[in-house]
Amino acid sequence: MDTTDGRQARSERTRGAVAEAMLDCLQEGILRPSAKQVAERAEVSTRAVFRHFENMDSLFEQVCELQIERVDRQLPLIVEEGTLDERIQSLVANSIARNQITSPVRRAAILTEPFSKQLRDRYAWFRSVLRRQVRASLASELDALDETARRDIVAAVAALLSFGYWDELKSHEKLSTAATRRVICSTIKGLLQS
For residue 30, the 8-state DSSP code is -
Q: Please report the pLDDT score of residue 2 as a whole number.
A: 60
pLDDT (mean) for 125-136: 94
Contacts of residue 87, Cβ cutoff 8 Å, sequence gap at least 6: 79, 80, 81, 137, 138
Q: Of 32-46, 100-114, 170-184, which range is least confident?
A: 100-114
Q: What is the mean pLDDT of residues 46-58?
A: 85
pTM of the predicted structure, to 2 decimals: 0.79
Q: Could you confirm whether domain 3-55 is CATH 1.10.10? A: yes
Is pLDDT above 60 for 1? no
Q: Please, are residues 118 and 87 in contact by the beta-carbon 8 Å criterion?
A: no
pLDDT score recorded for residue 72: 81
pLDDT at 120 over 90: no
> How far apart (Å, rounded) are the C-alpha atoms in residues 29 and 130?
26
pLDDT in tens, 134-144: 999 999 999 99
Give residue-wise pLDDT tens across range 3-23: 667 778 788 888 889 998 988
For residue 192, pLDDT beyond 60 = yes
Given a cut of 70, is residue 130 above it in pLDDT?
A: yes
Asked if residues 74 and 101 have their Cβ atoms less than 8 Å apart, the reply is yes
- State the Cα–Cα distance between residues 138 and 84, nearest whole angstrom: 8
How confident is the model at residue 94, as a pLDDT? Answer: 96
Q: Could you give the CA distance from residue 16 to residue 30 in angstroms, rounded to a whole number?
A: 19
* Domain assignments of the chain as residue spans, ordered by start: 3-55, 74-193
Residues 6+ positions from 60 with CB-CB distance below 8 Å: 22, 109, 112, 116, 118, 119
